[in-house]
Amino acid sequence: MSEIRNFNKEFVERTIDILEKCSKNTEYEVTLLLNCLLALVTLPIERNKVSKDKVDTKTLQFRADCINELDRLKNQYQDEIFNKEDKYTFNHIRNSIAHLHIEVENSCYKGIIENIILRDALTDKKFKRKEYNFDISISANKLRDFSLYTANEYIKCFF
């Protein structure tokens, strides 16, 4: 066990290390990727709260930069619900993973997970059908790129 002096920074650095070294070409690559991404989008939301009383331009810029990167990386998707201007988009990513609103699309090559669909539900509708306010598709490789971008931006912006 090693000593942690600055949890927020070292947690993100360790997550980058996992994404770059440990998760590639493993049996549970996508599972590990989603776990890492959940941590990477939760930390900034929880540590850098933005409210109507507290406006932190650095945090808002960090979120906007990450959302622009996601917009660049995501797939073209018929059912897409994505608004770059929605101030809760970062939360939608977190919620879709945390509440397991995830769907995977396997490739035709040995059942490898090729694309991941992330959804965030607005409300429960009648008969337990969800009404979504966020719905995107992204390849596993691009999701890794987004995770690494988010982690590196977090360190660049806050440390």
Question: d(Cα 147, Cα 153) in Å, to the nearest integer?
Answer: 10
In this prediction, residue 55 carries a pLDDT of: 66
Q: Tell me the average pLDDT across 21-45.
A: 85
The domains of the chain are located at 7-158
Amino acid symbol at 36: C
pTM for this predicted structure: 0.87
Residue 49 scores a pLDDT above 70: no
Question: d(Cα 158, Cα 153) in Å, to the nearest integer?
Answer: 8
Backbone torsions φ then ψ of 95, nearest 5 degrees? -65, -40
In this prediction, residue 15 carries a pLDDT of: 93
- pLDDT tens digits for 71-119? 999 999 998 999 999 988 988 999 999 999 999 987 766 778 889 999 9
In this prediction, residue 129 carries a pLDDT of: 61
